[in-house]
């Protein structure tokens, strides 16, 4: 599904990612953990195609195609979805309109019929239930005036509407209380399937109690310094990130 090979990324000439290797197979859930500033969002943003990042070396393939050469909207239509750490407010464009526009762009790309407002409403009714979102959020401008938790829920709602093949969740747990966290996790778990992969980026182990990963990677100073199974997350919780930073000084390749 996704192959990242020796990815180096700079922002304004400063190296942020310093050789990332990551392979995500179909249906797998990978957690990427790391302290603040380790480059988690940078990795997610580069995968989604945000501007302002310079890939100095390395390659990323998605479904066998060069992802980095693909425009962000095409990536999205091909099934890449990033849930933003900081979802953006779009005054004047309602959530409902925005989502239909997005879904129809994706459907058109797949050669499917675009949905009318009525048909789209059916899809929305079906998907909104599990997320326990207030219906009024659909009529409001995208993320405008939403609380932190509402914004995160809205990201997952968008994901469930667009049904991506690869979902990258950037700190979807931050700012959520435990009830909201459970709802969001249930939303994600409901989308897990044999042909859908997830990269779950998080600072805390907490989320991984609810979204149980197949693999855990630890990012420190732009490198993956440790990879392992789900138990690695617990180990990390116990020992803290300091434990991995020692390793980061002398990085050793670790097999998954």
Partner 1 sequence: MVAVVEDLNARLRGFESLRERAAGEPEWLQRRRRPALERFFALGIPTVKNEEYKYTNLSALPQVEFFDAPPAADTSAAAYRGLGGFTLRFDSGRLAAADGEVPQGVSVRSIAERLRNDPDGLESLLGACAAFEDHALAARNTACFEDGAVIEVAPGAVVEEPIHLVFAAASAVSNARVLIAAGRNSQVRVIESYIGAGKYWTNAVTEVYAGENAVVEHYRAQLESVEAFHTGCFQAVQERASKVSTFSLSFGAAVARNDINTRLNGEGCECALDGLYAVKGGQHVDHHTAIDHVMPHCNSHQLYKGVLDGSATGVFNGKIFVRRNAQKTDAIQNNKNLLLSDKADINTKPQLEIDANDVRCTHGATIGQLDAAALFYMQSRGIDVERARNLLTYAFAADALERIRLEPLRTHFENLLLRTFADKTEDRQGVTEWRP
Ligand X SMILES: Nc1ncnc2c1ncn2[C@@H]1O[C@H](COP(=O)(O)OP(=O)(O)O)[C@@H](O)[C@H]1O
Closer residue to partner 1 (CB): 73 or 246? 73
Residue 46 as a binder of ligand X (CB under 6 A): the answer is no
Residue partners of 74: CB distance under 8 A and separation at least 6? 109
Kindly state the number of chain residues that form the binding site for ligand X, as judged by CB under 6 A: 12
Map the footprint of partner 1 across residues 30-49, applying CB under 8 A: 48-49
- With CB under 5 to 8 Å by kind, the binding choice for 11 among Mg ion, partner 1, ligand X, none is ligand X
| 2-11 vs 80-83, strand pairing mode | unpaired
Residue partners of 232: CB distance under 8 A and separation at least 6? 216, 218, 226
Closer residue to partner 1 (CB): 122 or 139? 139
What CA–CA distance (Å, rounded) separates 95 from 153?
13
Q: Which of 7, 28, 33, 34 binds ligand X (CB under 6 A)?
A: 34
**Window 65-94: contact mask with partner 1 (x via CB under 8 A):** ------xxx-xxx---xx-x--xxxxxxxx
Residue 38 as a binder of Mg ion (CB under 5 A): the answer is no
**Which tokens in the block code for residue 7?**
């990815």
* DSSP symbols for 139-181: HSEETTT--HHHHHHHHHHHHHHH--SEEEEESTTTT--HHHH
Give the DSSP H/E element, type plus range, for residue 56. Answer: strand 54-62
Residue 231 as a binder of ligand X (CB under 6 A): the answer is no
Neighbour-count burial for 106-117, b at 16+ CB within 10 Å, e otherwise: beeeeeeeeeee
- With CB under 5 to 8 Å by kind, the binding choice for 234 among partner 1, ligand X, Mg ion, none is none
Shortest Å distance, C-beta 206 to ligand X: 17
Q: Which of 5, 98, 148, 189 binds partner 1 (CB under 8 A)?
A: 98
Cα angle, residue 207 at apex, residues 85 and 123 outer, rounded to 5°: 65
Kindly state the number of chain residues that form the binding site for partner 1, as judged by CB under 8 A: 40
Residue 41 as a binder of Mg ion (CB under 5 A): the answer is yes
Residue 248 as a binder of ligand X (CB under 6 A): the answer is no
Residue 109 as a binder of partner 1 (CB under 8 A): the answer is yes
Reference 203, options 4, 39, 60; nearest CA is 39
Binding site for partner 1 (CB under 8 A): 48-51, 71-73, 75-77, 81-82, 84, 87-94, 96-103, 105-106, 109, 116-117, 139-142, 158, 162
Binding site for ligand X (CB under 6 A): 11-12, 16, 34, 36-42, 52
């Amino acid at each position: 599904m996704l192959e990242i090979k020796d990815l180096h990324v700079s922002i304004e000439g400063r190296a942020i990612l310093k050789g990332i290797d990551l392979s995500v197979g179909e249906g797998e859930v990978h957690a990427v953990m790391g302290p603040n500033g380790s480059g988690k969002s940078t990795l997610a943003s580069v995968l989604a195609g945000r501007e302002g990042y310079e890939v100095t070396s390395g390659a990323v393939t998605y479904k066998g195609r060069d992802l980095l050469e693909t425009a962000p909207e095409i990536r999205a239509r091909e099934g890449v979805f990033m849930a933003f750490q900081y979802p953006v407010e779009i005054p004047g464009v309602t959530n409902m309109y925005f989502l239909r526009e997005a879904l129809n762009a994706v459907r058109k790309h797949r050669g499917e019929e675009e949905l009318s407002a009525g048909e789209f409403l059916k899809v929305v009714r079906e998907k909104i239930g599990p997320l326990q979102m207030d219906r009024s959020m659909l009529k409001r401008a995208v993320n405008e005036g939403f609380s932190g938790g509402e914004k995160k829920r809205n990201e997952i709602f968008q994901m469930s509407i667009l049904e991506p093949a690869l979902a990258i969740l950037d700190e979807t747990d931050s700012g959520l209380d435990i009830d909201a966290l459970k709802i969001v996790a249930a939303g994600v778990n409901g989308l897990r399937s044999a042909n859908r992969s997830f990269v779950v980026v998080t600072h805390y182990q907490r989320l991984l109690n609810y979204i149980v990963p197949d693999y855990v990677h630890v990012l420190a100073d732009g490198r993956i310094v440790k990879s392992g199974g789900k138990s690695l997350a617990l180990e990390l919780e116990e020992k803290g990130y300091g434990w991995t930073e020692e390793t980061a000084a002398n990085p050793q390749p670790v097999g998954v």
